[in-house]
């Protein structure tokens, strides 16, 4: 049995994705800073007969990420699917003209060093399995920068570049890297971006293994209003 490792476990998309991959037969590793939140999610998943366990880690602390993912693999089984989808902090989102060089330290650590650390931690196990999936979830600023949220726009763009390079570099090893762009808010009432619909999209990226970048909904061009 293999493991679905979720970095950024929360009650919205995180829980929905954990449930979807768990229903497909994977054990679930829930990574977040809060052990209490992990316990709540694991209990919720247990009601659906999904084996889930929490592992405490901070995306800004590479050593904790590596240790948590290693413990997850040792405890639950090798990580076959990694989903990196933590929610950025609000202070990452300053306007571009108010952003200093120091303001980029944490966003870049969060969105570039964080995923790189996670991938390096799970890649040996995926290679032993002979398969794997790396899923990156980002907002629309990853592909269309917004001056009002400079930190995430810059950091998400860097994360996108890293993930795209992984997509190419690992293709021959049967390890699929894919990115899901969610342009709008994740909402239970959304026709395209509810947690459950996004979870189904992510599962489809894992099983379909086609292409790198995918969109939850079309992104209109700000210049002319067309997708």
The model's pLDDT over 74-89, given as tens digits with 9 standing for 90+, comes to 999 999 999 999 988 8
How far is CA 145 from each of CA 29, 60, 161, rounded to the nearest angstrom?
Answer: 32, 23, 14
pLDDT at 93: 87
In a domain, 95, yes or no: yes
In a domain, 226, yes or no: no
Burial of 206 (0-12, 13-18, 19+ CB in 10 A): buried
In a domain, 165, yes or no: yes
Q: Which residues constitute the domain of residue 154?
A: 3-215
Domains of the chain: total? 1
Residue 208 CB neighbour total at 10 angstroms: 12
In a domain, 187, yes or no: yes
Residue 27 CB neighbour total at 10 angstroms: 21
Q: Taking phi first (over 0 means left), then psi (-120 to 50 degrees means alpha), and beta for anything else, what does residue 169 get?
A: alpha
Kindly report the CATH number assigned to the domain that includes residue 167.
3.40.50.720
DSSP 214: E
Q: Is the pLDDT of residue 227 over 80?
A: no
CA torsion through residues 23, 58, 212, 217, sign: positive
Q: Is the pLDDT of residue 47 over 60?
A: yes
In a domain, 48, yes or no: yes
In a domain, 13, yes or no: yes
In a domain, 227, yes or no: no
**% of the chain surpassing 70 pLDDT:** 96
In a domain, 162, yes or no: yes
């Amino acid at each position: 049995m293999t493991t679905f490792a979720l970095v950024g476990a929360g009650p919205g998309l995180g829980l929905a994705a954990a449930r979807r991959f768990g229903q497909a037969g994977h054990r679930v590793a829930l990574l977040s800073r809060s052990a209490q939140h992990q316990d709540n999610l694991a209990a919720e998943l247990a009601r659906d007969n999904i084996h889930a366990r929490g592992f405490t880690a901070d995306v800004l602390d590479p050593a904790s990420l590596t240790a948590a993912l290693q413990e997850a693999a040792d405890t639950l089984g090798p990580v076959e699917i990694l989903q990196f989808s933590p929610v950025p902090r609000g202070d990452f989102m300053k306007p571009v003209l108010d952003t200093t060089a120091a303001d980029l330290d944490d966003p870049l650590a969060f969105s570039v060093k964080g995923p790189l650390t996670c991938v390096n931690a799970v890649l040996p196990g995926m290679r032993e399995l002979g398969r794997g999936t790396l899923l990156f979830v980002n907002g629309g600023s990853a592909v269309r920068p917004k001056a009002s949220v400079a930190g995430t726009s810059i950091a998400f763009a860097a994360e996108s570049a890293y993930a795209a390079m992984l997509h190419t570099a690992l293709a021959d090893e049967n390890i699929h890297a894919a990115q899901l762009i969610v342009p709008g808010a994740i909402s239970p009432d959304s026709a395209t971006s509810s947690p459950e619909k996004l979870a189904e999209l992510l599962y489809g990226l894992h099983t379909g293994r086609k292409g790198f970048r995918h969109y939850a909904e079309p992104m209109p061009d700000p210049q002319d209003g067309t997708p």
